[in-house]
Structure 1
Amino acid sequence: MGTEQAAAANGFSYTLTRTLNAPATAVWQAWTTPGQYAQWAGAVDGSVEMDVRPGGPWKATMVTPDGSQFPLTGSYLTVDENRCLVVGMDAPGRPEPTAMTLELTEENGPRTTIVLRQTCDTAEERDMSEQGSTMLLDSLTTFLTPRTAS
């Protein structure tokens, strides 16, 4: 409990939880395969590079809803296949990367619960990151939802 209070006192955190009708392996592959990630995350085709191992670099050029492009870079801090991915994101003017933690828990069905956490430096940064992460999870949900004839 003490660490959570310290983290809250030193930063602005958010936690998002989403349950998908997909096995953890499918969620993991969507998040760690460049071609799949580009499809659902709004990245420029061919801009995603991933070396999914602790310390391995990644980069992607994202496209915003208004069509602007911005490059993102970082490295993987923790890689526990189909369970936990901690992604470090380089932030301009910051010596340390911002870490985003993605935890996967597979349930029966197969269903997977995703818990995404991030701590930011300011309330504004947290709000922007939380909005972006919510959009990512919405897109991932759509990407992994089986298309059924209605």
Structure 2
Amino acid sequence: MGTDQTTAADGFPYTLTRTLDAPAAAVWRAWTTPEQYTQWAYAAAGSVEMDVRPGGAWKATMVTPDGDRFPLTGSYLEVTENRHLVVGMDVPGKPDPSVMTVELDEHDGHSMQIVLRQTCDSAEERDMAEQGSTMLLDSLTAFLSGKAGD
């Protein structure tokens, strides 16, 4: 009976922080534009749809390094352009979405800090999510540094 009492206090959270050499608007576009998201987020071409507004839906099919495909769906819970994005990800067999928070904090117009937070139901789920999010941030960093000359 106690399984439906999961709260942030007894969940398994992680926080990842990166400083990126890019303005917040460029990071926001990379995270909220299907064409750009596909280029860095391991998504299958043509699979990304985004309705970036509170309550808006998103979907993407992720491709692993082994070539396995995982369709993901969810919705945007909070949206503050260039600053704050709260994304719900549907979890098969669970009534509530897994929630990821992305915060952008611009320092001087040229660099910014991105903070990604998520609380999971188990240590194993947290470790997998944290590993996946670390890969995403590594790829985002590489994508943005490649665009610096554009």
Partner of 2:111: 111
Using the TM superposition, give the Cα deviation of residue 7 of structure 1 relative to its aligned residue in structure 2, in angstroms: 2.2
Using the TM superposition, give the Cα deviation of residue 109 of structure 1 relative to its aligned residue in structure 2, in angstroms: 5.3
1:96 and 2:64 correspond: no
Contact 1:21 1:109 in 2 (8 A): no
TM norm structure 2? 0.92
Partner of 1:40: 40
> What is the percentage of aligned positions where both structures have the same residue?
73
In terms of mean alpha carbon deviation, does 135-144 or 101-110 score higher?
101-110
CA distance in structure 1 between the aligned counterparts of 2:123 and 2:146, rounded to whole angstroms: 36
CA distance in structure 2 between the aligned counterparts of 1:26 and 1:129, rounded to whole angstroms: 24
In terms of mean alpha carbon deviation, does 15-24 or 102-111 score higher?
102-111
Partner of 1:76: 76
Partner of 1:3: none
Runs of 5+ unmatched residues, structure 1: 1-5
Runs of 5+ unmatched residues, structure 2: 1-6
Contact 2:24 2:109 in 1 (8 A): no
Summarize deviations over 1:67-106 as a string: whole Å, max 9, x none.
Answer: 1001000000000000000000000111010100000000
- Where 2:139 maps in the other structure, the secondary structure is helix
